Amino acid sequence: MSRTAPTGDRLIGIALDSPGGDVVEADDLAIALKKTNLSIIVPSGSQCSSACFLIFAAASRRVIASDALIGVHSASENGDETARSLALTTAMAREAAEFGVPPAIIGKLVQTPPGRTTWLTLADLTTMGVTVVDDGPTAPSQPVVSGARNGYSPSRQSNSYSAGPEQRSTAYQQGAADRAAWEGWFGGLSGPYRDGAEYWAGQRSLPRPGSCYGPVGQTLGDWTAGCLSAKRMLTPWDIRRKAEPEYRAGWNSYSG
């Protein structure tokens, strides 16, 4: 039996409370939502994370309770990272950029592995133009990463970059935005975690890059964690950087 809204009633917003789901379905919903003027509301005690974030980002107006949680992480396939899930993560990042999500938040989405969630801070939400209403405990003002190791705090905003004039190609602009996301993430690291990330950044373009593990394959704690996170974040961007001249030009345009 079909149901319709009572005469005179008008849909003005959609309430969300979801830990995520299928990325492709979420993207379809986000694209449909983008064509409307509907608001997204995340009520008190609720969350919108993982694939749900795409729907949240697509709304023309976003309102959350102060105790609601908005979280991001990279895509997975049956809980694992695969070539397909890396491609999905890149697609999510690109879609989020088209929805106006700041590069620093996109960086958090890309570099947070499946199984962990980075919860956006009040500062993050402000950069997205989110309206936070006082309807419960105050939302976190410092970054919180579920399951994160010590030292894992990609919280700083990205430095400025030159994206070129408006006539620059989409690939150029994406390259510039991805580079800014990387710089914003890397700039917030410290200690062995940063050292590991810096190591991979220097190794990734070599014909035979080194390993993120010790001489006999052992983990080196935060150093290995930082190296693997940098590898996860940079790999899809490096594929485009090597294959697309315009994307590479945008990546190299960074002047922070």
What average pLDDT does the structure give for the chain?
Answer: 79
Same domain, 27 and 130: yes
Q: Is the pLDDT of residue 163 over 90?
A: no
How far is Cα 199 from Cα 180, in angstroms, rounded to an integer?
19
How far is Cα 184 from Cα 153, in angstroms, rounded to an integer?
11
Q: Is the pLDDT of residue 55 over 90?
A: yes
Domain count, the chain: 2
Same domain, 63 and 114: yes
Mean pLDDT of 23-28: 88
Same domain, 144 and 20: yes
How far is Cα 58 from Cα 115, in angstroms, rounded to an integer?
24
Same domain, 19 and 142: yes
Residue 187 zone, left/alpha/beta (φ > 0; ψ -120 to 50; rest): alpha
Same domain, 78 and 97: yes
Same domain, 117 and 242: no
Same domain, 87 and 158: no
Query: Please, what sign has the CA dihedral across residues 165, 125, 237, 32?
Result: negative
Asked if residue 3 is part of any domain, the answer here is no
Q: Is the pLDDT of residue 160 over 50?
A: no
Residues 53 and 70: beta-carbon distance below 8 Å: yes
- pLDDT for 99-153, tens place per residue? 888 888 888 888 888 878 888 888 888 888 898 887 544 444 444 444 433 222 2
> Which 3 state secondary structure label does DSSP give 188?
coil
pLDDT at residue number 10: 60
pLDDT at residue number 6: 54
Helical residues (DSSP H) of 99-219, grouped into ranges: 103-111, 122-127, 170-187, 191-203
CATH number of residue 84's parent domain: 3.90.226.10
Asked if residue 164 is part of any domain, the answer here is yes
pLDDT at residue number 135: 54
Residue labelled with tokens 């001249």: 245
DSSP 18: B
Domain end (from 148, 179, 201): 148
Backbone angles phi, psi at 72, to 5 degrees: -135, 150
Same domain, 125 and 209: no
Instruction: Using pLDDT thresholds of 50, 70 and 90, give the confidence band for residue 21.
Output: confident
Asked if residue 8 is part of any domain, the answer here is no
pLDDT at residue number 4: 52
* 140 or 57, greater pLDDT: 57
Same domain, 167 and 254: yes
Residues 183 and 234: beta-carbon distance below 8 Å: no
Under 8 Å CB-to-CB from 193, ≥6 apart: which residues? 149, 151, 152, 222, 223, 225, 226, 229
Same domain, 130 and 158: no
Asked if residue 177 is part of any domain, the answer here is yes
Q: Is the pLDDT of residue 56 over 90?
A: yes
Mean pLDDT of 229-238: 86
Asked if residue 2 is part of any domain, the answer here is no
251, two tokens: 């990546």
* 82 or 222, greater pLDDT: 222
H or E element in which residue 114 lies: none
pLDDT at residue number 207: 86
Asked if residue 138 is part of any domain, the answer here is yes
Asked if residue 51 is part of any domain, the answer here is yes
Domain end (from 114, 148, 182): 148
Under 8 Å CB-to-CB from 81, ≥6 apart: which residues? 74, 113, 114, 232
Mean pLDDT of 62-73: 89
Instruction: Using pLDDT thresholds of 50, 70 and 90, give the confidence band for residue 159.
Output: very low
Same domain, 129 and 157: no
Q: Is the pLDDT of residue 197 over 70?
A: yes
pLDDT at residue number 114: 82
Asked if residue 137 is part of any domain, the answer here is yes
Q: Is the pLDDT of residue 40 over 60?
A: yes
**pTM score, two decimals?**
0.54
How far is Cα 11 from Cα 13, in angstroms, rounded to an integer?
6
Residue range(s) defining the domain that contains residue 203: 153-256
Domain end (from 148, 172, 203): 148
DSSP 168: S
Same domain, 169 and 95: no
Instruction: Using pLDDT thresholds of 50, 70 and 90, give the confidence band for residue 80.
Output: confident
Mean pLDDT of 76-86: 79
